[in-house]
Amino acid sequence: MSDHTEAGTAAPYDALLLLSFGGPEGPDDVVPFLENVTRGRGIPRERLKEVGQHYFLFGGVSPINAQNRELLEALRKDFAGHGLDLPVYWGNRNWAPYLTDILRELTEDGHRRVLVLATSAYASYSGCRQYRENLADSLAALEAEGRTVPRVDKLRHYFNHPGFVRPMADAVLTALAALPEDVRDGAHLAFTTHSIPTAAADTSGRPEAHTEDGAGGAYVAEHLDTARVIADAVREATGTDRPWKLVYQSRSGAPHIPWLEPDICDHLEELHASGVPAAVMVPIGFVSDHMEVKYDLDTEATAKAAELGLPVARAATVGADPRFAAAVRELVLERAATERGLAPERCALGALGPSHDVCPVGCCPARSPRPAAAGAE
């Protein structure tokens, strides 16, 4: 990674917006939060009750907001330390601080061109376009208040950026070290991400990346690329070639609709049945510790492994790692330079290369088309 010790310029941008999912911060928040998340999404009631219980198990507090506050601090510290004078704001789509309120604040503070960092590294409707739809909704709400709204662009997907991948590779090494020594060399790597409907996976990414055979489009291809880079880095660091697989977690939706499989718990069962002595779960689909990590991996899958007698360890998420904060700065400077008509270096590991800056028409389409900001439409 290049070290920008000199002050870069973010012009033409005058603010960065950290845009995230949001999560409850106490028991009274859980039900209204779930109502916000699932409005119009057709999630079965039983599933909602179940997910509510996951939150109540942790006092109704999701780890996601604390993680975003830490990331916000890490970004401000990194920018200040590198002479990058760019204010950073934070807003969520499903819980306070709400996106519309933060965009209103940005507008009142006089910002005219805003760059958005979404806390989702990959292409998919849920991880990309839905955030763009939320931006469009919030901008429309502010326009309805009679405001002149800022122009909003979104940073490219960073799944293969070294500042995102390297902390995860190190986290796998730390997790391996936590396994009993006699099973460490035989441990398999289980890379996990959020399951999504196969229909959504197949249409993820640019139209050229769409697949019709359940291969999972850009969503699966990008995760496989990241997983491969991490597995290679771990092999180089340990001298041991460990088998790995991309598996899924946190499935919701009706049972008759196909979602990406196998589930992490079924995978652990299969590993155990085939005599594998241990596994490391690597949540590459999550930028930080969300409830999906705390419950679905650290609680449910870990209990499953204990029941099987399979030693497992869970690799840390990237969270507020300073290397990730530095990567965001590089991505900001890169995009700003591109907007100024330059052709900056675009860092990317793996085989897919750097993702597009602007989602083209037809990228990660919604089931029913709605306005989306920060794209080519």
Ligand X SMILES: CC1=C(CCC(=O)O)c2cc3nc(cc4[nH]c(cc5[nH]c(cc1n2)c(C)c5CCC(=O)O)c(CCC(=O)O)c4C)C(CCC(=O)O)=C3C
Binding residues vs ligand X (CB under 6 A): 21, 23, 34, 37-38, 41, 43, 47, 51, 62, 64, 119-120, 124, 126-127, 194, 196, 250, 252-253, 285, 290-292
Q: How far is CA 4 from the centre of its chain?
A: 25
Min CB(51)–ligand X separation in Å: 4
Of 92 and 100, nearer to ligand X (C-beta) is: 92
DSSP per-residue letters across 54-81: HHHHTTTB-SHHHHHHHHHHHHHHHHHH
Q: Which residues contact 20 (CB under 8 A, 6 or more apart)?
A: 64, 68, 90, 91, 92, 93, 118, 119
Of 54 and 329, nearer to ligand X (C-beta) is: 54
Q: Are 20 and 119 in contact (CB under 8 A)?
A: yes
First vs last Cα of the chain: how many Å apart? 33
Of 120 and 226, nearer to ligand X (C-beta) is: 120
Query: Which DSSP state fits 209?
Result: G
Of 19 and 276, nearer to ligand X (C-beta) is: 19
Q: What are phi and psi of 302, to 5 degrees?
A: -65, -35
The SS3 of residue 110 is: coil
Give the Cα separation of 357 and 345 in Å (integer): 13
Q: Are 140 and 149 in contact (CB under 8 A)?
A: no
Give the Cα separation of 373 and 356 in Å (integer): 15
Give the Cα separation of 16 and 87 in Å (integer): 6
The strand ranges marked E within 150-227 are 151-154, 188-194
Query: Which DSSP state fits 197?
Result: B
Say if strands 113-118 and 88-92 run parallel, antiparallel, or are unpaired: unpaired
Annotated binding residue at 131? Answer: yes
Min CB(367)–ligand X separation in Å: 9
* H or E element in which residue 102 lies: helix 99-108
Annotated binding residue at 292? Answer: yes
Of 163 and 285, nearer to ligand X (C-beta) is: 285
Residue least distant from ligand X (Cβ): 252
Min CB(131)–ligand X separation in Å: 7
Query: Which DSSP state fits 20?
Result: E
Min CB(225)–ligand X separation in Å: 17
Min CB(4)–ligand X separation in Å: 28
Min CB(117)–ligand X separation in Å: 12
Annotated binding residue at 125? Answer: no
Of 38 and 299, nearer to ligand X (C-beta) is: 38
Cα separation values, 94 from 12, 35, 36, 134, 307, Å: 29, 9, 6, 10, 35
Of 92 and 107, nearer to ligand X (C-beta) is: 92
Of 48 and 347, nearer to ligand X (C-beta) is: 48
Min CB(76)–ligand X separation in Å: 22
Min CB(126)–ligand X separation in Å: 4
What residues are designated binding site?
62, 131, 194, 292
What residues are designated binding site for Fe(2+)?
194, 292
What residues are designated binding site for Fe-coproporphyrin III?
62, 131
